[in-house]
Each structure stands twice: as C-alpha cells, then as structure tokens.
Amino acid sequence: MSKRRYAASKKLLTGLIGAPIAHSASPAMHERAAEALGLRGHYQLIEVAGADAAELRMMLEGVRRLGFAGVNVTYPYKEAVVPLLDALAPGAASIGAVNTVVVRDGRLTGHNTDTTGFARAVAPLLAPSGNAVAVIGAGGVGKAIAFALASLQVIDIRIFDSEPARAETLAALIAPRGGARVVASVEDALDGATGLVNGTPVGMLPSRDTPVPAALLRPGLWVADAVYSPLITPLLAAAREKGARIMTGRELAIYQAADAFELFTGLAPSTDVMGEAFDAVMAARSGAYQAA
C-alpha cells in the first residue's frame, strides 16, 4: 500500500481482539512503530473470553464506530470473525481466517498477515533442494502457516490436527497451490520431515505442555513455534537439546505486526523498531518471572 492514510501527529487507534491476550507484545510494537513515524498511537487490548457470534459482532461494531483504523484478531476468533466482516482480501478469503481487520469508509475488511509474516520469517530455514514440513494444528494460525509454506513452493506439507476434519479441510484448500496431505499422527507427520511448525497454542503460558514428544525430535530438523510467550517453549527447548535448529515466535510476531500496521496506516513501519519493542517486552517479562 503506497497511499499515506495518516499525517504526522495524527492519532492512531488500533487494537487486538482475543483471549487470553494480557501477554501480548502487540501494544508495544504498534505504539513504538507509530511514535517513530510521528503518530500518536494507542493500541487497545480487547479481551473477551468465550464470545459468541453476537458478542463478536458487537465488538466489531464498536471498532467500526469508535474511530479505530483497525484491529488485529487472535485466538480463538480468527475464523469466527470471517462471516461478520463486510469484505475479505483475497488471501484471507482463501484461507478462511483473519488476523487483521482494516476499517475504511465505514467498512470492515479482513486480511491475514500471519501468512505474509510467517513466509518472511521461515524463508531462511527452507532448503533449495526440497522440503517436507510437518504442520501441527489446522486452526487459524495453522492455516496461515500452511498457506505461507505453499506460497514458498513447499510441495510436501504434512498436516496433523486433533480434529481430522479440520486437517482435511485445510489440505483441500491448499491443494490448488501445492502438495498438502493429512496425516494420522504426529509420528507420521515427522517421518522424513525436514521441518516442523507448531501452529497450536500448546506451550503458551500458563501451559507447559508440548504438541510433539521429545523422542521424535532430532538433529537435522528445524523446528518453529508460533507461540512467543514464553519465547523458548517446551517444544523449542526440547528441540534445541536434541540438536535441531529452532525458530521462536519472535519473527512471526514482528513481521505480521509490521504488515498489519502498514494495512492500518499506509505507512511502512521499521521492523527494527518493532523488534526492539518486542525484545523489551520479553526482557521485562523474563525479569518478572525470575523475581517471582
């Protein structure tokens, strides 16, 4: 997007809908990026657990009417908001999941910057000679991850979800773009895989679980986690111990936020500035845990 929507010193109101989101680094990233561009930004956390369609509609109507440039959407509402919006960008329509809602001329348009953000983050890990990647989880973020891998010409995407029907639906959506198949177990997903991505909330605090048994991890594998609270999840800690390369949720968090900010404003933010804000939040959180 090239058109500037916000002049210097203009107020910028954005936010996040989801639950739980108290841990989110998004306020710091968006507000610091706005400040660096001369905007007066405020990023509001809108945490409502267990919202049904009517409650989500009310929240979105507030976003429409209260001067928001847009909001991000996270777990568990990335799919639930789709039928409540006025329009979907092509990418979000294909995926059936939205993490960014832009308000323009009174209309709410859904986008998916998890896909573009993850593609930017994971590209350095992919081998030019071919990749077989296991994706654990076929919900909102799992969908975005699988579409990002397909956009990078990964032709062997193995999808596992505890609800097989969700995995089947995702594989069918990706079929026109590349090779995706449903597997019956995590073991099958990792058989001969070069990479593994956790697209579930398993491992996000306060959970200390892992979606993949440590015995299945090995050297030569790369392992990425969409979770960033904590930055080193139990999955990533086990993978590192086994000698696998790891990618934390840091890069996905920063790149999806940067792409969303540009959609909200028409201005390209500094990913370095956003990264510094993200790191400051994580450092403060780590200090708080140690003090406790």
Q: Which of 3, 10, 11, 78 is catalytic?
A: 78
Q: Contact at 8 Å (CB) between 45 and 72?
A: no
DSSP characters over 84-132: GSSEE-HHHHHHT--SEEEEETTEEEEE-HHHHHHHHHHGGGS-TT--E
Q: Contact at 8 Å (CB) between 247 and 122?
A: yes
**Quick one: which H or E segment has residue 26?**
helix 26-36
Query: ω before 176 within 30° of 0 (cis)?
Result: no
Q: 242: alpha, beta or left, given left = phi > 0 and alpha = psi -120 to 50? A: alpha
- What is the distance, to the nearest Å, from the Cα of residue 47 to the centroid of all Cα atoms in its chain? 17
Q: Contact at 8 Å (CB) between 11 and 65?
A: no
Q: Catalytic site residue 3?
A: no
| DSSP character at residue 71 | E
Q: Give the residue numbers marked as catalytic.
A: 78
